[in-house]
Amino acid sequence: MMSIFKNPYFLAASLFFWVNQFLEKVLKIFIPYVHAYLDDLLAMPVILGITLQVFKWIHPLKDDFVFSKTQVLVGWAYLSFLFEFLLPKWSSTYTGDILDIVCYGLGAVAFYKLINLKKKSRI
């Protein structure tokens, strides 16, 4: 069984996300464009990757289960709506940014092409 947690693209996205959070939250180091957009770029591969792994554990198709383009699109739309429209209306902690939505979209495409893979069939 190929675990999403062994996929090098998922691992890289998760590692970069963790390192960025460590730099910002623990060391208080903020790199301007990295601070503004890296987490948004990595959000979809990390969130959808973890979600896909859970589905592969519980779904009858197991390793053959992948998200459809529509499911990935809905995930992108949901995250974009929540973080760039809804939360900024409720709290001044959040700000809406169209480039964040673009980053979520790029991350969703990367997830779909590089992480959302069926098990390779044996010949």
* Any domain includes 88: yes
Q: Give domain status of residue 64, yes or no.
A: yes
Number of structural domains in the chain: 1
Residue 121 resides in a domain: no
78-99 mean pLDDT: 95
Q: How far is CA 104 from CA 45, 57, 64, 112, in A?
A: 9, 25, 25, 12
- CA–CA dist 29, 105 (Å, integer): 26
| Within-domain flag for 37 | yes
Amino acid at 76: W
- Mean pLDDT value of segment 80-102: 95
Q: Is residue 119 part of a domain?
A: no
The CA-based dihedral angle spanning residues 27, 41, 111, 79, taken in that order and rounded to the nearest 10 degrees: 100
In a domain, 54, yes or no: yes
Residue 71 neighbours by CB distance under 10 Å:
16
Range of the domain at 99: 4-114
Report, as an integer, the average pLDDT of 58-72. 96
Rounded to whole angstroms, the Cα distance separating 17 from 42 reads: 7
Task: Give the pLDDT score at 118.
Answer: 83
For the stretch 2-48, pLDDT in tens is 699 999 999 999 999 999 999 999 999 999 999 999 999 999 999 99
66 assigned to some structural domain: yes
Interior angle at CA 18, CA 51 and CA 27, nearest 5: 155
In a domain, 123, yes or no: no
Tell which residue, 56, 49, 113, has the closest CA to residue 75.
49
What pLDDT sits at residue 2? 65
